[in-house]
Amino acid sequence: MVTAEEAWRILGSLAKPIGTEQAPLGSLSGRVLAEEVRAESPFPPFSRALVDGYAVRAEDLPGLLVVCGSSEAGRPFSGTLLPKQAVRILTGAVVPEGATHVVRQEEVERSDERIRVGSPLESLNIQTRGEDAKPGDLLLTPGIRLGAGPIGLLASLGKSEALVFRRLRLAHLLSGDELAPAGESLPAGKIYDVNGPMMAALWDRGGWERMGQRWIRDLRVEMERAIEEWMPKADVLVLSGGLGPGEADLVSEALAALGCAVHFHGVEIRPGKPFLCASQGQTLVLGLPGNPGAHLALFWLFVKPLLDALSGMPFAVPWQTGRLSGDLSSGPLPRETFWPVTVASEEGSIWLHPLPWTGSASVPVLARTQGFARLPKGRGRFAAKELLAFLPIA
């Protein structure tokens, strides 16, 4: 049995990114960047007008100017602005040589090919060449998950692809002779599979590749065969159930028979005490207890930080702090406990409302859980307004 801190440390040491690949711009959403991105040329590539109006020279103002041509987006004015001249210009167009300012069209009087411009001009209304980035400027660093903003930046640089970490391949093996699939009538003694659909939902949101999900009967030989079959295909194999000390708790025996290295089996926490971590070669095996409450809590506390780190991001558990909105009392806690809470922000404070919780076998509470409050071992009473660490789940 290890402590939660030891489990995080071990998982962190196992979390080496799994490899990289080039991916096209259109498929980068949710991927993790594996390279530094620097500007190769100035951005914007030319000084451009920020408003519709006239390009002018400050030294001619105030005065009457002759409009000698136009510059539109994509169709620049080819000459140089001479004394007492102006060029009609539209937003995004190249500012002609010699111009110092762009004056808004609302601020000039125009008659035929002449404009009258007052003085002084308050703003340039020009985004100058290289204002956003100069050649060599660092624009993106490795380890960020790519969303719309960074993808837009890559597009502005003309990049048609980027180096990203390979998508993690995950498989989920669920054991339990009592499991029945949704949609079928429930024979006596059976329950519907909760962990399969719950984990599938978590994985789809994380952008990882779901290799497969398989049910196995509570037979050691079946468990062993399924692990052996999936180990070469997956980067991470998540097992559901079969971890406790009962006769049908088969995972440890199957892993031992396959010669896997077990890094820990059992963490001093509630829920999720039988949590197991093993590996063989490059493949990691995570055993999560069958109780759905343990499955969900362990995913957020340990599995997600590990998967993120294997995907190229830092290994981190993003704790926050909040105050209890009411008293929380249970018997003295036998282990460090992660208690389901709802989370609300009010008047600059985060409030944690402890949900009624009977343990990891309870499922309805999971539908309301927005975070897990971290409670130390030994205590049984926590007063309203006490400040606690919690892990938000979103």
- When asked if residue 242 is in the footprint of ligand LQZAQKY5 (CB under 6 A), the reply is yes
With a CB cutoff of 8 Å and minimum separation 6, the contacts of 193 are 174, 176, 179, 180, 181, 182, 215
Which window, 18-26, 205-213, 239-247, 326-334, contacts ligand LQZAQKY5 (CB under 6 A)? 239-247
Name the residue nearer to ligand LQZAQKY5 (CB basis): 131 or 177.
Answer: 177
The number of residues that bind ligand LQZAQKY5 (CB under 6 A) is 25
Question: Per-residue string for binding with ligand LQZAQKY5, 130-169, x by CB under 6 A?
Answer: ----------------------------------------
- When asked if residue 195 is in the footprint of ligand LQZAQKY5 (CB under 6 A), the reply is yes
- When asked if residue 291 is in the footprint of ligand MOO (CB under 6 A), the reply is yes
Out of ligand LQZAQKY5, ligand MOO, none, which partner does residue 31 contact, by CB within 5 to 8 A per kind? none
Out of ligand LQZAQKY5, ligand MOO, none, which partner does residue 359 contact, by CB within 5 to 8 A per kind? ligand MOO
Name the residue nearer to ligand LQZAQKY5 (CB basis): 276 or 310.
Answer: 276
Beta bridge mates, 101: 56
Out of ligand MOO, ligand LQZAQKY5, none, which partner does residue 125 contact, by CB within 5 to 8 A per kind? none
Cα 82 from Cα 391, distance rounded (Å):
64
Of 338, 314, 244, 251, the residue nearest 286 (C-alpha):
251
Name the residue nearer to ligand LQZAQKY5 (CB basis): 33 or 297.
Answer: 297
- When asked if residue 240 is in the footprint of ligand LQZAQKY5 (CB under 6 A), the reply is yes
Cα 41 from Cα 136, distance rounded (Å):
8
- When asked if residue 176 is in the footprint of ligand MOO (CB under 6 A), the reply is no
**Tokens representing 316?**
């981190």
Cα 28 from Cα 149, distance rounded (Å):
12
- When asked if residue 238 is in the footprint of ligand LQZAQKY5 (CB under 6 A), the reply is no
- When asked if residue 194 is in the footprint of ligand LQZAQKY5 (CB under 6 A), the reply is yes
Question: Per-residue string for binding with ligand MOO, 305-344, x by CB under 6 A?
Answer: ----------------------------------------
Cα 1 from Cα 20, distance rounded (Å):
35
Cα 306 from Cα 44, distance rounded (Å):
39
Which window, 40-48, 124-132, 190-198, 278-286, contacts ligand LQZAQKY5 (CB under 6 A)? 190-198
Please, what is the minimum distance in Å from the beta carbon of residue 3 to ligand LQZAQKY5?
16
Name the residue nearer to ligand MOO (CB basis): 272 or 312.
Answer: 272
Which window, 191-199, 230-238, 346-354, 374-382, contacts ligand LQZAQKY5 (CB under 6 A)? 191-199
Name the residue nearer to ligand MOO (CB basis): 203 or 338.
Answer: 338
Question: Per-residue string for binding with ligand LQZAQKY5, 281-300, x by CB under 6 A?
Answer: --------xxxx-x------
Which window, 3-11, 64-72, 170-178, 287-295, contacts ligand MOO (CB under 6 A)? 287-295
The number of residues that bind ligand MOO (CB under 6 A) is 10
Cα 201 from Cα 80, distance rounded (Å):
61
Name the residue nearer to ligand LQZAQKY5 (CB basis): 246 or 281.
Answer: 246
Positions touching ligand LQZAQKY5 (CB under 6 A) are 174, 176, 178-179, 191, 193-196, 240-245, 249, 273-274, 289-292, 294, 360-361
Positions touching ligand MOO (CB under 6 A) are 270-274, 289, 291, 294, 359-360
